[in-house]
Amino acid sequence: MEFLKYLLIGVSVSLDELAVSTVKGVQVKHIRRVDPWITGLYFAVFQGVMLIFGFFGSSLFSKGSSAVTEWIADGLLMLIGANMVREAFSGDDDNKDLLAKMDVRSMSMLALTMSLDALAVGVSPALGHSLDIWWAALSAALVSLAITVPAMFIGHRLGHKVGAKGGAFGGAILILLGLFELLQYYKVF
């Protein structure tokens, strides 16, 4: 039963990476076989580390900090998505989008954005819930890697089929994902 608990924690903080990795696969023009693995490792490390930071840094957080991290993470998702839609219709094909780049800065920013919810989840066990943070962090990292790699490959294959306007579709998905998570946080549905 403990395994299931840690698996569900890993899935819960990593599911948004499914959409983002798929869209990243669409956006990267020339994908190397190693790129999905690099992306997966960035996401995995950030997910695990942010859970641990949330756990040990919980004394620095107030009850309102969860809302702040939610607004930041979801707001960044929506901004990235809006930029993708703008670039798809502007005819600017310079590959400047955060999701299209594989450099350290872009990957770190994207992984940080995707792992802010893990930071908030990491605070929860420190407040008294029974959870081994090390197993939770390992689970989040492994699930993140397992979701990201195939999603990025699939996204890249889809990108070839939908063409240049696939970025607009991917951007719309990110905007909706950010909006959905924000509304879900406030229990609108």
The most confident of 64-73, 114-123, 144-153, by mean pLDDT: 144-153
CB 140 within 8 A of CB 53: no
* Contact criterion met (CB below 8 Å) for 24 and 155: yes
pLDDT digits (tens, 9 = 90+) for 73-108: 777 778 777 876 776 677 655 445 667 788 898 889
Distance of alpha carbon 58 from the chain centroid: 22
**Confidence bin at 38 (pLDDT 50/70/90):** very high
Residue-wise pLDDT for 160-186, tens only, equals 676 656 667 767 877 887 788 788 878
Calculate the CA 86 to chain-centre distance.
21
Question: Which amino acid makes up residue 73?
Answer: A
User: Coil, strand or helix: which one is 170?
Assistant: helix
Closest CA to 123 of 51, 46, 48, 54: 54
